[in-house]
Amino acid sequence: MDRPTDREMDGPAVEGEMTSQPDGQKEPPRPPSPPFPPRAPSPPPPLSPGSILGVPLSPGPSEQGINIYEPPPPCGPARPLETLGNFSGWQISTEKLLPNFSWTVKQQCVDLLAEGLWEELLDDEQPAITVMDWFEDSRLDVCVYELHVWLLAADRRTVLRQYHAAPRPSPRDPGGRWCQVSHVFKHYGPGVRFIHFLHKAKNRLGSDGFRRTRVTDSSVSLQLRN
């Protein structure tokens, strides 16, 4: 797979602006910042303590019946995603694109203190935080998946670190395979209390029916030092 388009940033960035120099010339505008995290949803039901140590974010699989060794199901009518699996703890929405595309957006905000961690551990030890996901190279478009993760302070709004990825699998590789996306946050500084995880999967409505890009095994884990 080609190297994904991704980036990690410290804290919130400022939108591009023009500044004047003494000689009257203007500096080129700063590049635009990545999207700011959406307004945090209501806190999800507390997950089991083991969930923050490596099992899926939601209590059940991201989508029911997914087998990474079998081909995707045939196209058919569009069905609500909630009918296809267990999505407890996830906020699900649809982002329309023109002409026949859309994003399915799933997000979850993990409360680290509610998971059994404590402030001194997070602030002093700063255990490595690993986010991981798998998406199907559905070939519905050039880019069929995005991942956005924000490490947030106690107010659930202040961004301490963020990561954004929009992988583009190589067209030379066979379609339909599963692709892994992962990132490790290290040395992120004190104050992290929440992890806001958001991913997008692209859909297409064609003459043969509705087709989704499947996503599975989303996880967030912390690596504690011995």
Task: Please choose, from the candidates 152, 170, 169, the residue with its C-alpha nearest in 3D space to the C-alpha of residue 161.
Answer: 152
pLDDT at 4 over 50: no
Would the CA dihedral through 22, 25, 28, 32 be positive or negative?
A: positive
Half-sphere exposure of 28 (CA within 13 A, CB side): 2
Single-letter amino acid, residue 14: V
Q: What is the biggest distance separating any 2 CA atoms in the chain, rounded to whole angstroms?
A: 65
Q: What would the pLDDT profile of 171-193 be if each residue is shown by its tens digit?
A: 887 777 899 999 999 999 999 99
Task: Please choose, from the candidates 137, 135, 114, 117, the residue with its C-alpha nearest in 3D space to the C-alpha of residue 126.
Answer: 117
- Domains of the chain as residue ranges with CATH: 52-66+73-223 (2.60.120.260)
Residue 95: strand pairing partners: 103
The pLDDT, as a whole number, for residue 130 is: 95
pTM: 0.69
* CA separation for the pair 1, 111 (Å, rounded): 33
143-153: average pLDDT: 95
pLDDT at 68 over 50: no
